[in-house]
Amino acid sequence: MSTKQIAIPQDFILGAAASAWQTEGWSGKKPGQDSWIDLWYKNDRHVWHNGYGPAVATDFINRFREDVALMKQAGLTHYRTSINWSRFLTDYENATVDEEYAAYYDALFDEMHRQGIEPMICLEHYELPGVLLDTYGGWASKHVVELFVRYAEKVFARYHGKVTRWFTFNEPIVVQTRVYLDALRWPYEQNTGTWMQWNHHKVLATAKVVKLFREKGYRGSVGCILNPEVTYPRSRAPHDLRPLRCMTCSTTVSSSTRWSTGAIPQSFLPCWSSIRLSGSTPRTNWR
């Protein structure tokens, strides 16, 4: 088979991306370290293709060295993945680090640097600890925001010398949109107020983590991986345009504005307060 080599500009990032839960598998996972993804898989396995899911994934936690070698062979300069919050800690309230799992990331980052591949690390790629979902309702609770900041502080302190490109969340509106807005994912609970509270608290968590990163004086950058969506009306009729405005201001425009500027657009508040999909839903606590 013939091959053709193409020179990549020096400042061009040629990378790939995955996540902890999509690749690592459950090898070495301890009791009580289930994430939301793990609970979904355990409670609703029939919706996963042939029952295949995070339990094995690609067994990256045991095979990362050969996979990193393949990244180098493919010519990658960067690889983005996540740290699994639910596995990085054994005590989420006190941010007690699971040393066995943390050592795996030390080894992974060292191997990536040895192969000339820069890590780009996300702090949460749908890996909300299941116990925090059960105990506090997940991102509906401001306490979970503070627990996330404690987790981020431990991660930054340990790896800031090996990682300089950080992200707080991958596609931060996805989980709550599928669970609480569309009710298409486990645990299938339609609640617009909860959906909005999750959105807001993830913005708040990002702001607090960015503030922490800057106050500590760490080298590099920290941001968020957004997934803007475009919504089209069924028709130009007023009854189709009204929900279009609500959907647009509640997700794409308002989220993008808040993530990039840190401000909630005041013009969108009347729209938010009027959203009701079925019956009465709780008012969102914006403070």
Residue 251 covered by a domain: no
**Residue 103 to residue 60: CA distance in whole angstroms:** 14
Cα dihedral 186→191→197→203 (10° resolution) = 50
- Residue 71 above 80 pLDDT? yes
Among the residue ranges 80-84, 165-169, 222-226, 241-245, the one predicted with the least confidence is 241-245
Of 103, 112, 206, which is closest to residue 163 (Cα–Cα)? 112
Residue 180 covered by a domain: yes
Q: What is the pLDDT of residue 201?
A: 94
Residue 62 covered by a domain: yes
Residue 38: alpha-carbon gap to chain centroid: 15
Residue 101 covered by a domain: yes
Q: What is the pLDDT of residue 153?
A: 99
- In one-letter notation, the amino acid at residue 195 is W
Average pLDDT, the chain: 90
Give me the CATH number covering residue 103.
3.20.20.80
Provide the domain limits for residue 94: 15-230
Residue 255 covered by a domain: no
For the beta sheet containing 15-17, the strands, ordered from the edge strand earlier in sequence to the opposite edge, are 15-17, 78-82, 118-124, 165-170, 221-225
- Rounded to two decimals, the pTM is 0.89
Residue 284 covered by a domain: no
- In one-letter notation, the amino acid at residue 164 is T
Q: What is the pLDDT of residues 169-225, one digit of tens each?
A: 999 999 999 999 899 999 999 998 899 899 989 999 999 999 999 999 999 999 999
Number of structural domains the chain divides into: 1
Q: What is the pLDDT of residue 269?
A: 66
Mean pLDDT, rounded, for 90-117: 99
- Residue 82 above 60 pLDDT? yes
Residue 194 covered by a domain: yes
DSSP assignment of 167-194, as one string?
Answer: EEEESTTHHHIIIIIS--STT----HHH
**Residue 193 to residue 276: CA distance in whole angstroms:** 8
Residue 248 covered by a domain: no
Q: Which residue has the higher pLDDT, 141 or 193?
A: 141
